[in-house]
Amino acid sequence: MPLFTAPPAPRLARLVAPHRETLAQRLARAATPADRRVRSLLEAWFVRLPEAAQTDVRSRLWERDRRLALAAFWELYLHELLLTLGYETTPHPVLAAAGPRPDFLAVRQGESLYVEALVHGPPTEAWRAERRLYPILDVLHEFACSGWFLTLGRVECGHSTPPLRDLRLAIGEWLESLPPEQDEARLEWRRNGWTVELRATRSLSTPASDVFPLQPAPAMSLRTLASKLQAKAKRYRSLDNPLLLALCISRPLAEETLTDSLPRIVVGLPDWVMGVLVASGLDPWTIATTPLRLVRRGDAPLPTTGFFAALERIGARQLTPELMEIDKPWRIFNLWPHWPADPLAEEECR
């Protein structure tokens, strides 16, 4: 069972507006060399995932909700990382006591630990607000072949549905009025309580997936993050092995937050939690460049010392007594520094 449709079905081969294309749809099309490299790597990882977990991971990766797709990818990533560290894995192991099951039991040279994956993304309100802009972005996508590239700036939402016909006409008249020698222009459109700022350029200066940037994500609440980790940890009161919480944050987290705030959060977690593994801003296209950080408890159980030593063998550095970092993750998976970019192009730039 492949992770993605092979060959792509006709409906997947059609061009989809970037804001509506799911992670799996993009990789099923694999229209660019970089996408094909990402797809091949994930397919190779998927084959090594135990069959019992493949159906669940595959179905969630195809979900339209980006948070569910990211969670499936994160579990696939963690399984491959555990294999690289030399662990044998059992997905959703049966426990002696009734209750929830962690995502993985990892065993290596007599040492065992449980791994539970978490994803922290924008709240539901932010997700709904983003989706409310989709009809406007659909209109912008209609002008993709006009010779202009349209990007969305500030948006103030009205209380009703935006009058898309008026927007479409306004954009068309605006673009037709621009002189041939002009390379950039801006438009502010106001109707029915909506305010939309647009920028038109003759050349594409950003990757195709970023042609239609959405509103900035709200600042992350560390209190919400701490509560989420606490709630997840307390579900596993009766584990017979230490628990590693593996946290994937959908947006990059500030360096000072990682080094200062997260260690304080980890100290407040229950005793059976050995630490929190953090990947901030990770997605399938940033596997080679997103650092991994382990915020460990100072009093972590002795049986987990082998896990810390295994991380050091694959390049982890001790930044503080509580914080370890793998700043060259591309080496873990035998990639190159700017994967999935063309390695030959990378050599030419050196």
Q: What is the DSSP letter of 261?
A: I
Task: Answer yes or no: is 30 within a domain.
Answer: yes
Give the mean pLDDT of 240-266: 85
Is pLDDT above 70 for 267? yes
- Among 210, 238, 273, where does a domain finish? 210
Q: Are residues 113 and 260 in the same domain?
A: yes
**Neighbour tally for 330: CB within 10 Å:** 17
Task: Answer yes or no: is 334 within a domain.
Answer: yes
332-346 burial code (b ≥16 CB/10 A, e <16): bbebeeebbbeeeee
Task: Answer yes or no: is 2 within a domain.
Answer: no
The per-residue pLDDT for range 180-198, each reduced to its tens digit, is: 889 999 999 999 999 999 9
Is pLDDT above 80 for 209? no
> Regarding predicted confidence, which is higher, 326 or 299?
326
Q: Are residues 141 and 155 in the same domain?
A: yes
Task: Answer yes or no: is 1 within a domain.
Answer: no
pTM: 0.80
pLDDT of residue 345: 60
Q: Give the E-state strand segments of 138-254 in sequence order.
A: 149-156, 184-191, 194-201, 243-249
Cβ contact 217:122 at 8 Å: yes
Candidate from 110-119, 208-217, 250-259, 300-309 with smallest mean pLDDT: 208-217
Cis peptide before 8 (omega within 30 of 0): no
Q: Are residues 73 and 181 in the same domain?
A: no
What are 156's strand-pairing partners?
195
Q: Please give the structure tokens belonging to residue 120.
A: 């922290």
Q: Are residues 99 and 231 in the same domain?
A: yes
pLDDT of residue 99: 79
Q: Are residues 141 and 231 in the same domain?
A: no
Q: Are residues 252 and 103 in the same domain?
A: yes
Q: Are residues 17 and 71 in the same domain?
A: yes
Give the position of tokens 């980790």: 229
In the chain, DSSP finds a helix count (H) and a strand count (E) of 13, 11
Q: Please give the structure tokens belonging to residue 16.
A: 């989809």
Q: Are residues 228 and 276 in the same domain?
A: yes
Structural domain span for residue 242: 10-122+220-349
**What is each CA distance from 204 to 56, 197, 226, 332, in whole angstroms?**
38, 18, 40, 34
Q: Please give the structure tokens belonging to residue 326.
A: 């793998």
CA atoms within 13 A on the CB side of 152: 24
The per-residue pLDDT for range 122-180, each reduced to its tens digit, is: 666 666 777 788 888 888 888 888 888 888 888 898 888 889 999 999 999 999 999 98
- Among 210, 233, 252, where does a domain finish? 210
The whole-angstrom separation of Cα 252 and Cα 309 is 27
Task: Answer yes or no: is 4 within a domain.
Answer: no
The whole-angstrom separation of Cα 86 and Cα 253 is 29
Q: What is the count of structural domains for the chain?
A: 2
